[in-house]
Structure 1
Amino acid sequence: MDGGVNLGNFLKNNNERDYWLDVCVRMAHHSTAIEGNTLSQDETASILLDGYIAKATSEREFYEVKNYRQILPKMFSSLQEKAKIDEKLIKDFHRLIMNNLIDNNGKFKTIENLVVGANFEPTKPYLVPVAIKDMCDNLYFRLDNAKNDDDKLKAILQSHIKFEKIHPFSDGNGRTGRIIMIYGCLENNLAPIIIPKEQKNRYIAILRNNDIDGFMAFAKEIEKDEISRRNKFLSQRPNEQDNSKSVLSRLGNAYAKKLESGAIKALNDTANSKEKER
């Protein structure tokens, strides 16, 4: 995608790496804020990049943010493996994002749940595995037959609406669904769709009303802003960056190594694949 996210440059360019860490921070901040987390984006960055809590906060809010440290490596390692969105990957993301928050992280619900203010009933627990499989099969059928990037984006967005209707977990459905949506974008070389907390009401209304046309218009706005933000990162000169080293150095060594080792083959494979398509 011209102007889109280039995974192949991730390890070649400090600016590109900084962009991806920026994605991680914004993904964590906005997605948790939509669910009621009160930490600011700066406080979120402190937890994810610097490893400390900038102010007294609840244990729950801390882990809601901290758990996103595992999401980027998981995304890249899954891309390396060419893993498609399926029950296993969905459960893996949920297990990571809900760690230390609930006891049944990574497991589908066993008790019926409801969505506050919704005019529908989520899928019954015993039907969830079949519903998830149907959702994934339909997504990849549409992706395989897509004629352009807009067709792909629309398929990903409709799958997100379907996922939230299924509501397969006892908690963490919104956060997991938005992670899956971003993974679908990266898998198809599209800019990540990070729903801004300021647009929560618009987003919720879209889901509630199954408004795919409204979702497409919303996502295209986000996509345009995301590409612009990435281009600003890439256009920075070395002396304009936060430090002489990549922001990656602000992470713990173990996390940085995990991120790079999990990413390198995926990124090279993606770059090679795109080169062959040209």
Structure 2
Amino acid sequence: MYSDLYYDDLMVRMAHHSTAIEGNSLSQGETKSILIDRIVPRVVEMRELYEVENYGDFMPVMLADVANKTPIDIELIKKYHELLCKKTIEHVPGKFKVVPNNVVGADFTPTPPYRVVTDLEEWRRNLATQMEYAQDNDTIVEVICRQHLTFERIHPFPDVNGRVGRALMVYMCLLYGITPIVITKELRKEYMMYLNTANIAGMVMFCKRLQEAEKERIASFAE
């Protein structure tokens, strides 16, 4: 659908922005050096290095899933979590939480462990049903935003829920044929506001602005 150069660029920016939102200190240029040039440009914390390197393993898997039109289900979510948090967390990659967790500063309580599978299955069914009737970009974006906010409130894993949720947003965009939504670190405060308040309308307008910027990025690689 897009050029290989664009997909490389998408991988670098997904890795940089999604990890930076969670506190990773590597710059976008340093992330590119690690993922594309295979050079570690300076002394870095190993956890930060692995957080970025994991996107090098994740990207070809995600693109293969797009090509195969792999539906989003619990196994795919667990697979993406396993890929994105290898060697970076104390918990077992790909395993749901077994003790309650909280989101710092949030005004909601995430789903308790015993309800994670049930709530995710309901989330999956709702996604499939809504996408079945979504016919245009605006409707698809609204579905993606609603499902992202719901996913983050379920918070199914002990850690790395944000990175998995944002990766699923990009996957949904590619799977359903719309311009990818890449949430940038510079807009972290606005993004977190929509998450914490469950402001779907605000999140939709936010993501549509990101799509417009992404279209320009895509066009630059097509020239």
* TM tier, smaller: over 0.9
Query: Could you tell me whether the CA contact under 8 Å between 2:35 and 2:53 is conserved in 1?
Result: yes
Q: Percent identity?
A: 42
Q: Quick one: which amino acid aligns to residue 156 of structure 1?
A: I
TM-score, length-normalised on structure 1? 0.78
Q: 2:162 corresponds to which residue? A: 174
Q: Quick one: which amino acid aligns to residue 203 of structure 2?
A: F
Cα distance in 2 for partners of 1:148, 1:46 equals 37
Q: 2:194 corresponds to which residue? A: 206
Q: Verify: 1:121 aligned to 2:109, yes or no.
A: yes
Cα distance in 2 for partners of 1:147, 1:95 equals 32
Q: Quick one: which amino acid aligns to residue 169 of structure 1?
A: F
Query: Could you tell me whether the CA contact under 8 Å between 2:99 and 2:113 is conserved in 1?
Result: yes
Q: 2:100 corresponds to which residue? A: 112
Structure 1 spans left out of the alignment, 5+ residues: 1-6, 11-15, 236-278
Q: 1:162 corresponds to which residue? A: 150
- TM superposition outliers: structure 1 runs of 4+ over 3 Å: none
Q: 2:77 corresponds to which residue? A: 90
CA shift for structure 1 position 80: 2.9
- Number of residue equivalences: 222
Is the radius of gyration larger for structure 1 or structure 2?
A: 1
Aligned counterpart for 2:67 among listed residues 40, 64, 80: 80
Q: CA offsets, 1:99-153, max 9 Å, x none?
A: 0112411010111101000111100001000101111110110110113221111
Q: Verify: 1:42 aligned to 2:33, yes or no.
A: no
Cα distance in 2 for partners of 1:146, 1:191 equals 15
Cα distance in 1 for partners of 2:18, 2:32 equals 14
Q: 2:48 corresponds to which residue? A: 61
CA shift for structure 1 position 81: 2.7
Cα distance in 2 for partners of 1:221, 1:153 equals 11
The residue correspondences of 1:1-278 to structure 2 (distance < 5 A) are 7=1, 10=2, 16-102=3-89, 103-235=91-223
Cα distance in 2 for partners of 1:221, 1:24 equals 20
Q: Relative contact order: is structure 1 or structure 2 higher (C-alpha 8 Å, sep ≥ 6)?
A: 1
Q: Quick one: which amino acid aligns to residue 101 of structure 1?
A: T
Other structure's SS at 1:23 match: helix
Query: Could you tell me whether the CA contact under 8 Å between 2:54 and 2:86 is conserved in 1?
Result: yes
Cα distance in 2 for partners of 1:160, 1:182 equals 11
Other structure's SS at 2:209 match: helix
